[in-house]
Copies of this chain bind each other. A is one copy, B any other.
Amino acid sequence: MIRFYNGKVLNISEKFDDKITVSEEELWVEDSKIAFKGIPSSKDLEGKTFEREIDLQGNLLMPGFKDAHTHTAMTFLRSYADDLPLQEWLYDKVFPHEAKLDAESIVPFTKLGIMEYLTSGITASFDMYFYLDAYVQANIDCGFRTVLCGAMNDFDKDYTQLERDYEKFNGMHPLISHKIGFHAEYTTCMERMEYVASLAKKYKAPVFMHNSETKSEVEGCIERYGKTPMKLLSDLGMFEYGGGGFHCVHVNDEDMDIMKEKNVWAITNPCSNAKLASGIAPIDKFMKKGVGLAIGTDGAASNNALDMFREMYLVSVLQKLSLEDAAAVDGADVLKMACVGGAKAMGLDDCTNLEVGKQADLIVIDLHRPNMQPILNIPKNIVYSGSKENVKLTMIAGKVLYENGEFFIGEDPEKIYAQAHAHAKNIFAQVEC
């Protein structure tokens, strides 16, 4: 049992409309779960032995952030091709290099991403990428929690692999799960999309995909099918058990009504959408419509960081900018999206918040840093002035993986850096640009 004491706890309800509160309580972790939360009586403490007692020194325990859309191993493209037009970036820089990836190189690139998540207090990722076995092993080796999202598209030789992956990765390990998903409408033919819809019905499962990220994607879909991607997929019966769209920048009112009705999450990626000049998702309108919201970083190639603090800041301030209203989208609501929203969208119902019985996926926020002072409003401090410097500890499933700048992921960071660098060099050497 691990005891956190002498600190504060951030209470975020699973009900979106509830106010976030801060309490001065202890929290005890047994194995992978939260075993106690409150002010212990002398009876509670009687005869109790702890394997570790962590003095929080007034700092804050809060649920970890959930990165609800990412491509973890894309770390290898960080700072490789910035400041280019979107098409040139994607077709000349990303695709040819991704084609050179293999199971071996995926491992250090994934571990690099996991390390960055930990520095930013991210305790779970919703990842869409390649070489799933290698990717999953890297996560298990590090102790990181990940939800795989099917990435099926027209380039797959055997698209029925999606179902086998779903069967294989669900239940294989407590840190791993899998959601039915495909890349996007614009990369997937009708026959394959119908197959996805059939899986959704067969498994009574939600479906996830890139959706309405760019204007041209939506225009292309309307040209092909006479309707928006959201409407098309809904009409195919893909959302009978809910689901989610990554990005959802260019959605119309009807799309949002469908999302609300069908329980389709809007998973927003403001940094990537800004850096690639894709646009600003209508977060304020999603909130008013009652559409569920979660936040992702997207991959490091288009962001270029995996930093939930920067994402949260942009979710809020880009709404204020685009609506010309400084009151639009309250910071506290953004914090709910990053913690509870993400967990719910990813199907991690036992990782939403810090209640007894939930998974101990949590972080310690250092309040003894200048950017957190004075302490007038902790949720606003986190969203509007918080940064990675405030992440003092990151715990997943009851295990401390990051503390005071050091990693406890079973491998030397320098070794991971060296491997990632060597593989990146090798890949770039193979591609003429």
Contacts and interface: CB of A to CB of B under 8 A. Distances in A.
A384 B82 contact: yes
Interface in A54-94: 75-76, 78-80, 82-86, 89
B421 A327 contact: no
B305 A387 contact: yes
A119 interface: yes
A123 to B, nearest CB: 16
Copy total for this chain? 2
A78 B274 contact: no
A368 B331 contact: no
- Give the interface centre of A82, A119, A324, A325 by most chain B CB atoms within 10 Å: A82
Nearest to A390: B388
A326 B83 contact: yes
- Give the interface centre of A274, A276, A381 by most chain B CB atoms within 10 Å: A274
A23 interface: no
B328 A277 contact: yes
Nearest to A330: B83
Interface stretch (A9-17, A174-182, A346-354, A372-380): A372-380
Contacts of A327: 83-85
A95 to B, nearest CB: 16
A320 interface: yes
B280 A321 contact: yes
Contact of A116 (B75, B323, B370, B417): B370
A79 B321 contact: no
A304 interface: yes
Given A89-B326, A317-B275, A325-B85, A384 B305 contact: yes
Interface in A109-143: 112-113, 115-116, 119
Given A119-B371, A325-B85, A327-B83, A78 B376 contact: yes
Given A271-B317, A275-B326, A305 B376 contact: no
A421 B370 CA distance: 12
A422 to B, nearest CB: 9
A148 interface: no
A192 B14 CA distance: 56
A305 B80 contact: no
Interface string A273-290: 111110110000000000
A83 to B, nearest CB: 5
Contacts of A115: 370
Contacts of A424: 374, 376
A389 interface: yes
A307 interface: yes
Given A112-B373, A368-B413, A377-B80, A277 B385 contact: no
A275 B119 contact: no
A343 interface: no
Contact of A374 (B76, B84, B325, B378): B76
A404 to B, nearest CB: 9
A353 to B, nearest CB: 22
Nearest to A87: B326
A414 interface: yes
A263 interface: no
A370 B112 CA distance: 6
Given A119-B370, A305-B371, A387-B389, 6 more contacts: A83-B326, A119-B369, A277-B326, A306-B371, A373-B420, A374-B417
